[in-house]
Amino acid sequence: MSTNENGDFLPAQDPERTGVVEPSSGEEKVDVPIRRLDFGFLPIPKSQRHDPAVGFKFTTLLNVVFGVASTFTVANLYYSQPLLIELSTAFGTTYDRISNVPTLTQAGYATGLLFVTPLGDMIRRRELLLALLVCAGSITIGLAATKSLELFEALSFLSGIVAVTPQVMLPFAADLAPPHRRASAISIVLSGLLLGILIARVLGGIIGQFSTWRNVYWMSVGLHYMILIVLYFVLPDFPDKGLNLSYFQILFSMAKFAVTEPVLIQSCCIGLACSAVFSCFWVTLTFLLGGEPYFYNTLAIGLFGLIGMLGVMTSPFVGRFVDKLVPWFGTLFGLFGLVLSLSIYTGAAIVNIGAVVVVCFSLDVAQQLQQVSNSTRNFAINPAARARINSVYIISVFLGQVIGSSVGTRIFLQYGQRVAGGFCLGLIGFALFALLARGPEAKTWVGWTGDIKSFRRVPHKTQADVEKQSTHAPEVQTEPTAEAEELNTAEDRALEDEPEEEAPIIEAAQSSPTKAV
């Protein structure tokens, strides 16, 4: 690998750097003008402008910013749920009518998943994210100030549409992160998403209890504009994907992916089932703890959400673990963890409160493991279509949440906790069947074709590893060539979009003929 006079890698050959554009061999280098304005009038900070010769490094700070932004933007979907009684009193309406508010918010979110998030494959993500945050903050001002129930319902629907910021950030993080850190980057954004779902109910309930419900939304306004300012200064102006597709072609291709990609279909089945389990557990936990034999009050029940947050905060460890695995096996281990958690829940949740505490923590860790692994597999399908593929997957996850909260609640109330636990175990059984029906190296829609060598992923060499090898290894006089591998699964294609390091073939004499890519 080439280095400069200080011994540092050149940008195009730095494995930690993405977004570097080099001319092909034999072509002259063309100076590409650096983009300096967002929306044609807003200056882009110099450090965030895209220089094709330099690219970007996805830092830990930016990854954490993505996670925090995901937490407080997705929370806007859930603030109303603990405030329904206060909202019905304030607008002078019935509980049945005010229950339309969270329904409309979720309907808006589904609309945004379908029609807004695919834009991440069409336009620059920096402009899309800044526009979404401006819209979300402005709409939330209306939620905090309006005295009309009809306007509040309409604004709730619109706030759901623009609350898809985390779903734009998720594939963006996958594009920015180098291959050997991709699962870690995804896990932090996903943990922010899960944390937002849990923390919204806590913040909404506490502020609504000791203040007015309007202050919950005023707080959200401040958080949105604060995140907007931070992202303006730290968000890279990563180039668009240059697909030259119209908006309707983008939507059509998304529908095509939903029926032609076996890995995506497999992930959607698993994601739907696991999301239904996650939603069923946390919705019915209130009934479990508030009834026999525990009879806990609202504050005590709310504290169990903090245990779930501790499980979410293990995301950096989960991400590093998945980075070392073939993602198919990460999904398998996550499903085994869910089976273990739900078995404890079904057998002991009404016997000992310690079992409930253990399940609150372990369920969240196992859910993260399977979701990070699934997302890693999905993003390896087609790097140029990550936003559309993520939209399809998240829509299935959203449908799972609806099934878990509605069907799971009815089963719990009519038949009890253990039957609800059995329902959740049945869903995980379906997820395991969907996973095992197609192996990690399968070349067909169903089956176990291909060679399974190990559940560990072949490590991607970092800059330090390459420096150490070049320092201690003897020089090889033959010209370096790259050994081709057959890319027969989504996991094999995980590094296809990144420049690979050159390595001399030492065993060329004894190797079989090179396989065609």
C-alpha R_g of the chain: 24
Place of tokens 């399908």: 381
**Domain segments of the chain as ranges:** 52-244, 245-449
Give the distance, in angstroms, between the CA of residue 2 and the centroid of all CA atoms in the same chain: 35
Looking at the predicted structure, is the pLDDT value of residue 344 above 70? Answer: yes
Least confident of 29-33, 103-107, 437-441, 503-507: 503-507
Above pLDDT 90, what percent of the chain?
38
What does the pLDDT read at residue 485? 39
Query: Mean pLDDT, to the nearest integer, of 80-103?
Result: 85
Structure tokens, 228? 């907007």
User: Domain 52-244 is of which CATH architecture?
Assistant: Up-down Bundle (1.20)
Structure tokens, 136? 């979300």
Helix (H, G, I), strand (E, B) or coil at 455: coil
Structure tokens, 224? 């949105």
Structure tokens, 503? 């390595």
- Rounded CA-CA distance 385/122 in Å is 9
Least confident of 43-47, 290-294, 470-474, 482-486: 482-486
What does the pLDDT read at residue 453? 67
The model carries a pTM of: 0.78
**Which residues, in sequence order, are CB contacts of 217 under 8 Å at separation 6+?**
79, 140, 143, 144
Task: Write the DSSP symbol of residue 238.
Answer: -
Nearest to 501 by CA among 465, 454, 473: 465
pLDDT tens sequence across 215-244: 999 999 999 999 999 999 999 988 887 778
pLDDT tens sequence across 363-397: 989 998 999 999 989 988 988 888 999 999 999 99
What does the pLDDT read at residue 454? 63
More confident residue, 134 or 464: 134
pLDDT tens sequence across 8-65: 444 445 555 565 555 555 455 555 678 888 888 989 998 888 877 777 778 888 999 9
Query: Mean pLDDT, to the nearest integer, of 243-263?
Result: 89
More confident residue, 324 or 363: 363
- Rounded CA-CA distance 382/386 in Å is 6
**How long a stretch of residues is the chain?**
517
- Rounded CA-CA distance 186/166 in Å is 11
3-state SS, 404-429, equals HHHHHHHHHHHHCHHHHHHHHHHHHH
- Rounded CA-CA distance 237/289 in Å is 48
- Rounded CA-CA distance 75/207 in Å is 14
Q: What is the mean pLDDT of the chain?
A: 81
Fold for 245-449, please state it.
Growth Hormone; Chain: A; (1.20.1250)
Helix (H, G, I), strand (E, B) or coil at 220: helix
Place of tokens 């997957």: 393
Looking at the predicted structure, is the pLDDT value of residue 177 above 80? Answer: yes
Q: Which of 141-145, 181-185, 280-284, 489-493 has the highest mean pLDDT?
A: 141-145
Amino acid at 497: D
Least confident of 27-31, 126-130, 307-311, 434-438: 27-31
Nearest to 238 by CA among 383, 98, 433, 378: 383
Looking at the predicted structure, is the pLDDT value of residue 471 above 80? Answer: no
Query: Mean pLDDT, to the nearest integer, of 340-345?
Result: 96
- Rounded CA-CA distance 166/68 in Å is 10
Model confidence at 457, pLDDT cuts 50, 70, 90, reads: low
Looking at the predicted structure, is the pLDDT value of residue 205 above 80? Answer: no
What does the pLDDT read at residue 429? 96
**Which residues sit opposite 481 in a β-bridge?**
503
pLDDT tens sequence across 390-419: 999 999 998 998 888 888 888 998 999 999
Model confidence at 332, pLDDT cuts 50, 70, 90, reads: very high
Least confident of 96-105, 132-141, 217-226, 229-238: 96-105
Place of tokens 């508030």: 290
pLDDT tens sequence across 150-166: 999 999 999 999 999 99
Nearest to 68 by CA among 166, 200, 202, 205: 166
**Are domains 52-244 and 245-449 of this chain identical in fold?**
yes
Model confidence at 502, pLDDT cuts 50, 70, 90, reads: very low
Looking at the predicted structure, is the pLDDT value of residue 488 above 70? Answer: no
What does the pLDDT read at residue 11? 47
What does the pLDDT read at residue 452? 67
Amino acid at 244: N
Looking at the predicted structure, is the pLDDT value of residue 510 above 60? Answer: no
pLDDT tens sequence across 264-313: 999 999 999 999 999 899 888 888 888 888 888 766 777 787 888 888 88
Q: At what angle do helices 100-115 and 84-91 cross, to 10 degrees?
A: 110
Cβ neighbours of 211 (radius 10 Å): 12
